[in-house]
Amino acid sequence: MHVRDALRVTPKENLEMIADSVAYLKQQGREVIYDAEHFFDGYKSNPQYALKTLEAASEAGADIIALCDTNGGTMPHELAEIIKKVKQTISTPLGIHVHNDSGVAVANSIIAVEHGAVQVQGTINGFGERCGNADLSVIIPNLMLKYGISCIPKENLKLLTEVSRFVAETANMNPFDKQPYVGYSAFAHKAGIHVSAIQRNPETYEHIKPESVGNTRRVLVSDQAGKSNVFFKAAELGIELDKSTPEAKEILNRIKELEHLGYEFEAADGTFELLVKKAVGKHRSFFQLEGFRVIVEKRNNKLFSEATIKVRVDDKFEHTAAEGDGPVNALDNALRKALVKFYPQLRKVRLADYKVRVLDAKSGTGAKVRVLIESTDGKNEWGTVGISENILEASWQALVDSIEYRLLKDEEIKERKNGRKR
């Protein structure tokens, strides 16, 4: 069909073009990887001719022939049987190039390797047209950790999560939290019994060590979590809590109160950490709000947002204004503009994601809303949360927590460095 309708040549001419192209490139001393576009669909439609195209490339000297499931519709059992037929026809090393339109791109790639493919084509995070390409962020650790097949230097496997998030950041796309191996939630634990078990033996609920792919274990705090989660999270922060201490009881009671109001800490590790540190006296306020005002104006059918803010840092006041794409963006810009004079490191901090959830739809536009903010400094990410009937107030709460979290982290790093020097 493609030869007839897309290329508009005869089947014979197509075979000659394949052979001529590959032979010419080989004559120039080049390595030639021949991608057999639409091969699997072509084989299912006309196996004899599909195999002839591979023979033409093989006889002309192709170094690798990559079999392509361009439309992404081939099932794993079909792919395996077709590769067996191909290997009976040609001896050229095979590669695999599959798309994810049926959700089996990773499985098909691994099955191809099982059947002798020596090259896998794909993309980091599976980025690509339609439903994407085969996800190398999943294929690489599967091959190395599950099959024992070396496909990248062993020491580089620990960089996988970092590379995945760098690519997402560069592409300006939010990372997929539930992505295997490298996702933010790939090693996240919520139920109290799970957390209790992994404290004794991580293998009870983890199929690999998170650090082997550069990821980390996360314990979520929610209304479904038990005390184990809270104490585990506190220990991660370097705070040892005894279940019988007043601080521990205060934290647990405070979490229950806040969750009853609509707070959610699963995606707000930053807010949770601040809550714990306030309870044990390891928190300080870096600035005080004196007041803010946000104006939204429509001129010439365009909306303009401007925020004016006044803050106090110790005994110094800063009064400034900034514009933004919307009222929350304007408020965020004004707050950073006011504080960057005192805390220059905030120049690196920006909002990575902003989500609003209506908690009580029955109240209409007067409903309480939950604002979740994800922030990043280019290397680390953290989440904070705010609740209010006023979306600006909820956003303000999350913004303040985001900035205080970062500043508190910077202060802790300085203290550790000074401690080492002493």
The residues spanned by each domain of the chain are 2-151
Interatomic CA distance for residues 12 and 245, integer angstroms: 83
pLDDT at 302 over 60: yes
pLDDT at 40 over 90: yes
Interatomic CA distance for residues 96 and 238, integer angstroms: 47
Q: Class of 2-151 per CATH? A: alpha beta
Q: Which of 54, 48, 59 is nearest to 26 (CA)?
A: 59
Which of 283-287, 296-300, 331-335 is the most confident on average?
331-335
Tell me the two tokens of residue 239. Answer: 């705070």
pLDDT at 221: 61
User: In which band, very low, low, confident or very high, does the pLDDT at 380 lie, cut at 50, 70 and 90?
Assistant: confident
**pTM for this entry:** 0.64
- 201: CB partners within 8 A, 6+ apart: none
Cα 327 to Cα 102, 310, 333, 415: the distances in Å are 41, 16, 10, 37
- 221: CB partners within 8 A, 6+ apart: 229, 230, 233, 255, 265, 266, 272
pLDDT at 211: 95
pLDDT in tens, 71-89: 999 999 999 999 999 999 9
The strand pairing partners of 98, in sequence order, are 69
pLDDT at 366: 66
pLDDT at 422 over 60: no
C-alpha of 206 from chain center: 19
* Better pLDDT: 294 or 190: 294
User: In which band, very low, low, confident or very high, does the pLDDT at 145 lie, cut at 50, 70 and 90?
Assistant: very high
Interatomic CA distance for residues 253 and 240, integer angstroms: 18
Least confident among 71-80, 117-126, 210-219, 390-399: 210-219
C-alpha of 324 from chain center: 26
Going 299 to 304 to 305 to 308, the CA torsion angle's sign is negative
Interatomic CA distance for residues 422 and 68, integer angstroms: 61
- 357: CB partners within 8 A, 6+ apart: 369, 370, 372
pLDDT at 75: 97
Phi, psi (5° rounding) for residue 74?
Answer: -85, 135
Cα dihedral 146, 149, 155, 158 in deg (nearest 10): -30
CB < 8 Å & 24+ apart, contacts of 43-50? 43/82, 43/85, 44/74, 44/78, 44/82, 45/1, 47/85, 49/11
Least confident among 123-127, 189-193, 269-273: 189-193
Interatomic CA distance for residues 230 and 276, integer angstroms: 9
- 27: CB partners within 8 A, 6+ apart: none
pLDDT in tens, 202-234: 778 789 999 999 998 876 665 555 566 677 767
pLDDT at 270: 87
Whether 243 and 227 have beta carbons less than 8 Å apart is answered as yes
